[in-house]
Amino acid sequence: MDYSLLSSILHAILVASTPLVFAGLGALIQERAGVLNLGVEGLMIVGALAGFATALAGYPLLFSVIAAAFAGASLAAIFALLVLRLYANPVATGLALTLFGLGLSALAGAQYVGQAAPQVSVWTIPLLSQLPVVGHALFSHDPLVYLSILMAALIWWFLKQTRAGLILRAVGENHTSAHSLGFSVMGIRFLAIAAGGALAGIGGSYLTLVQTPLFVEGMTAGRGWIALALVVFASWRPFRVIAGAYLFGSVTILQLHSQAFGISIPAQWLSMLPYLVTIVALVMISARGDKGVAAPGSLGKIFRVSR
Amino acid sequence: MRGLLSKALAVSAAVLLAACSDSEQTASNAPEKSADKVKAGFIYVGPVSDGGWTYEHNQGRLAVEGAFGDQVETTFVESVSEGPDAERVLSQMANDGADIIFTTSFGFMNPTIKVAEQFPNVKFEHATGFKRADNVAIYSSRFYEGRHVLGLVAGKMTKTNTIGYIASFPIPEVVRGINAAYLAAKSVNPAVQFKVIWVSSWFDPGKEADAAKALIDQGADILMQHTDSPAAMQIAEQRGIYAFGQASDMAAFGPTAQLTAIIDDWAPYYIERVGAMLDGTWQSTDTWGGFNTGMVALAPYGQAVPDDVRQLAEEARVAISEGRLHPFTGPINKQDGSAWLAAGETADDGTLLGMDFYVEGIEGSLPSSN
């Protein structure tokens, strides 16, 4: 294999994985606060549409990304209202959010179908991009790829090193204790949901801004579900989310390349792989019984203030 | 996910259908006589906004409405997954008084046959399949005729002698297209090589784009696709190579990149069949139209296609349309080297409809279809 092909493959893996990194981090921050939000797919596609519409109107990338984040956060706020204030079942509400997001984006997006967004410019990092193989593969990307990695670092730092992060984790581990210590479980969860929605929205917008600069309904094609699986696979750690996303991205891209080389692995197997790996990861987590990697204690549980 | 979505759509369609079913009980009871009003249902595998396959079927539906006005009422359910869901959507449509139902994807074949048995008075029309019944007609287009012309253009224009082909599922329709395009390309360029990627989806723009990039990275300078979104066309435009549109004119996504496109025009067929329902002359038929019927057409050639290639392509198109040329004319061997067609022999429709093998010269193996 020549090096330019290797470099192109690595480059494509990063591009294919970036939506998963954003959406996975978004799901992670919610789950660390104890919120199970199955609406990631819906949040992503709404972000995809908002980002695309903004780019089409001629605004720069930064505005498109902000619009996508805002759209994702707004839809997530509806989820927060239903689950936190009205005590709706989070699983059913999350599924409904996915359906609602897909339907809403199809309706609002109908007018954008058939148009192409302007291409996003690439930020080539001086010197590093001159390196053989990895130069092109890692250091000549659109800004969002770098942002996704920066975001993982930021979330790691926030959860690990800041007081606010500690409070968020406390709410996720045991909301009753956190409440009795005087923290606002509702408020913190609301912020986590909004932040998660914003990240999912950005992840979705990556699809319509960079990966395929067009909008068609249902174009997230299950990536939201992979993002959810990813968080479990990553045992709720930000950097493992990146690693997992790149692993899943590699599986997709390598499968395509192996076919073009004439080696065929049934594509159905590779589509199943992310979920199989997740199941294996789940089994390993429970078999080890290691508290450090277990799911947040209050994950998916409804919190009611006892009066 | 598709499953849930189509469930929701099916429910909402059912509500809509129920709301307007009072007024036309006469039509569904007497399908043999000429009807005053026909209710036609359509089920689609993708969204009507896909810009390709489903979009064109929906254009056909709109043409039916345009042609018959008040005499016809049409309904559709989009993004129906090819499995048990389709059966439920079909039963629902039949229950709600549809007189004729068009099922517009290969994977709807078995559900169509099954539901047709339960509703002998409802007529069904299944696209691209091979199973018929007294109340199930089948129809398809000879897309392979278009593929032949595409293959000629690709063979002439490739500089790397590598054509990338994004395929969906290894069903006869898709395999036929690959074979037809390859044979045509090979006839004008013996060094040509096809790289085929199966994406296991009709519609996943992200994956189609990734496949397009992989093919380009591996040296393809012309892309063909048998998937429904214009994603590959966009990538071709970005990367400065050429591609062919699929099912619909995709020039908007690749103004420079599109060499031409196969356009499916279902309108004449849909108008004819719904007309037959109105006249009371509907019969279970097997229609396979090509260039000659207008069901297969080509988009205008792109700027990049030189005059001599254009001429070659047009000659082939006319010859096929007039029946002077068959894209599968021997000698042709199968991929394993065994003889298929002797010199001068043309393929019969039966073999073409069930085609499950590559012709000699295509590399890689055909994935099993189940």
* Shared-domain flag, residues B35 and B164: no
B162 interaction partners in chain A (CB closer than 8 Å)? none
A260 within 8 A of B215, measured Cβ to Cβ: yes
Residue B303 lies in a domain: yes
What is the mean pLDDT of the segment spanning B298-309? 94
Which domain range does residue B208 map to? 143-256+296-353
Given pLDDT bands bounded at 50, 70 and 90, which one contains residue B13?
Answer: very low
Whether B12 has a pLDDT exceeding 80, the answer reads no
* Shared-domain flag, residues B84 and B164: no
Alpha helix segments (H runs only) across A33-142:
40-56, 61-80, 90-109, 134-139
**Cα–chain center distance at A146:** 15
Query: Which secondary structure element, helix H or strand E, spans residue B150, and what is its range?
Result: helix B143-157
Looking at residue B130, its pLDDT comes to 85
Higher-confidence residue: A10 or A134? A10
Looking at residue B34, its pLDDT comes to 64
Whether B9 has a pLDDT exceeding 90, the answer reads no
Looking at residue B214, its pLDDT comes to 93
Residue B369 lies in a domain: no
A41 within 8 A of A222, measured Cβ to Cβ: yes
* Shared-domain flag, residues B201 and B273: no
Is any Cβ of chain A less than 8 angstroms from the Cβ of B238? Answer: yes
DSSP state of A111: G
Query: Which secondary structure element, helix H or strand E, spans residue A140, and what is its range?
Result: strand A140-141
Cα–Cα distance measured from residue B92 to residue B86, given in angstroms and rounded to the nearest whole number: 10
Q: Which of A22, A107, A113, A259 to mutate to test the interface with B (most CBs of B within 10 A)?
A: A259
A115 interaction partners in chain B (CB closer than 8 Å)? 252
What is the mean pLDDT of the segment spanning A258-278? 74
B79 interaction partners in chain A (CB closer than 8 Å)? 217-218
Higher-confidence residue: B71 or A132? B71
**Cα–chain center distance at B103:** 12
A-facing residues of B in 123-152 (CB < 8 A) are: none
Whether B19 has a pLDDT exceeding 60, the answer reads no
- DSSP track, B158-222: -SSSEEEEEE----HHHHHHHHHHHHHHHHH-TT-EEEEEE-S-S--HHHHHHHHHHHHHTT-SE
- Encode B18-55: b = buried (16+ Cβ within 10 Å), e = exposed: eeeeeebeebbeebeeebebbbbbbbbbbbbbbbbbbb
Query: What does the block give as tokens for B141?
Result: 């287009």
Is any Cβ of chain A less than 8 angstroms from the Cβ of B369? Answer: no
What is the mean pLDDT of the segment spanning A273-280? 77
Give the nearest partner residue to A221 out of B164, B204, B235, using CB atoms: B204
* Shared-domain flag, residues B232 and B243: yes
* Shared-domain flag, residues B198 and B68: no
B368 interaction partners in chain A (CB closer than 8 Å)? 266
Assign domain A3-293 to its CATH architecture: Orthogonal Bundle (1.10)
Residue B366 lies in a domain: no
Q: How far apart are the first and last CA of chain A?
A: 68
Cα–Cα distance measured from residue B209 to residue A26, given in angstroms and rounded to the nearest whole number: 25
Given pLDDT bands bounded at 50, 70 and 90, which one contains residue A289?
Answer: low
CATH for B35: 3.40.50.2300
A49 interaction partners in chain B (CB closer than 8 Å)? none
Inter-chain contact A259–B235, Cβ cutoff 8 Å? no
Type of residue at B51: G
* Shared-domain flag, residues B13 and B162: no
For chain B, strand residue ranges (E) read 38-43, 72-77, 100-103, 123-127, 136-141, 162-167, 193-198, 222-225, 242-245, 258-264, 286-289, 296-298, 332-333, 339-341
Inter-chain contact B234–A212, Cβ cutoff 8 Å? yes
- A133 Cβ contact list (under 8 Å, min separation 6): A3, A6, A7, A10
Q: What is the mean pLDDT of chain B?
A: 87
Inter-chain contact A271–B217, Cβ cutoff 8 Å? no
Cα–Cα distance measured from residue B241 to residue B221, given in angstroms and rounded to the nearest whole number: 5
Given pLDDT bands bounded at 50, 70 and 90, which one contains residue A291?
Answer: low
Whether A119 has a pLDDT exceeding 90, the answer reads no
Whether A77 has a pLDDT exceeding 50, the answer reads yes
Higher-confidence residue: B257 or A123? B257
Inter-chain contact A259–B364, Cβ cutoff 8 Å? yes
Looking at residue A273, its pLDDT comes to 75
Residue B363 lies in a domain: no
Cα–Cα distance measured from residue B197 to residue B185, given in angstroms and rounded to the nearest whole number: 18
Give the nearest partner residue to B229 out of A12, A216, A271, using CB atoms: A216
Number of domains in chain B: 2
Inter-chain contact B367–A119, Cβ cutoff 8 Å? no
DSSP state of A209: I
B44 within 8 A of B57, measured Cβ to Cβ: yes
Smallest Cα distance from B221 to chain A, Å: 14
Cross-strand pairs, B222? B163, B242
Interhelix angle B205-217/A3-32, rounded to 10 degrees, is 150
Residue B359 lies in a domain: no
Is any Cβ of chain A less than 8 angstroms from the Cβ of B200? Answer: yes
The burial of B300, by beta-carbon neighbours within 10 Å (0-12 exposed, 13-18 middle, 19 or more buried), is given as exposed
Residue B81 lies in a domain: yes
B248 within 8 A of B259, measured Cβ to Cβ: no
Looking at residue B129, its pLDDT comes to 85
For B75, the 3-state DSSP assignment is strand
Whether A59 has a pLDDT exceeding 50, the answer reads yes
Inter-chain contact B206–A219, Cβ cutoff 8 Å? yes
* Shared-domain flag, residues B30 and B157: no
DSSP state of A100: H
Higher-confidence residue: A305 or B75? B75
* Shared-domain flag, residues B94 and B201: no
* Shared-domain flag, residues B17 and B114: yes
* Shared-domain flag, residues B238 and B346: yes
- Of the ranges B28-42, B197-211, B262-276, which is most confident? B262-276
Whether B144 has a pLDDT exceeding 60, the answer reads yes
What is the mean pLDDT of the segment spanning B318-333? 93
Given pLDDT bands bounded at 50, 70 and 90, which one contains residue B1?
Answer: very low
Given pLDDT bands bounded at 50, 70 and 90, which one contains residue A246?
Answer: very high
pLDDT digits (tens, 9 = 90+) for B178-237: 999 999 999 999 999 999 999 888 888 888 999 999 999 999 999 999 998 889 999 999
Whether B131 has a pLDDT exceeding 70, the answer reads yes
Residue boundaries of the structural domains of chain A: 3-293
Higher-confidence residue: A291 or A193? A193
What is the mean pLDDT of the segment spanning B233-255? 91
DSSP state of B337: S
Cα–Cα distance measured from residue B94 to residue B118, given in angstroms and rounded to the nearest whole number: 9
Question: Lowest-pLDDT range, A149-163, A234-248, B15-29?
Answer: B15-29
Cα–Cα distance measured from residue A253 to residue B210, given in angstroms and rounded to the nearest whole number: 7
* Shared-domain flag, residues B150 and B194: yes
Inter-chain contact B234–A268, Cβ cutoff 8 Å? no
- A92 Cβ contact list (under 8 Å, min separation 6): none
DSSP state of A122: P
Inter-chain contact A221–B47, Cβ cutoff 8 Å? no
pLDDT digits (tens, 9 = 90+) for B76-115: 998 898 888 899 999 999 999 999 999 999 999 999 999 9
Provide the edge-to-edge strand list for the sheet that holds B38-43: B72-77, B38-43, B100-103, B123-127, B136-141, B286-289
pLDDT digits (tens, 9 = 90+) for A131-160: 877 788 888 889 999 999 999 999 999 999
Give the nearest partner residue to B4 out of A5, A99, A271, using CB atoms: A99
* Shared-domain flag, residues B167 and B91: no
B361 interaction partners in chain A (CB closer than 8 Å)? none
Given pLDDT bands bounded at 50, 70 and 90, which one contains residue A258?
Answer: confident
Cross-strand pairs, B125? B102, B137
A198 within 8 A of A69, measured Cβ to Cβ: yes
For A186, the 3-state DSSP assignment is helix
Share of chain A above pLDDT 90, in %: 58
Given pLDDT bands bounded at 50, 70 and 90, which one contains residue B21?
Answer: very low
Handedness of CA B151, B155, B156, B158 (dihedral sign): positive
> Residue A280 CB: number of other CB atoms within 10 A?
11
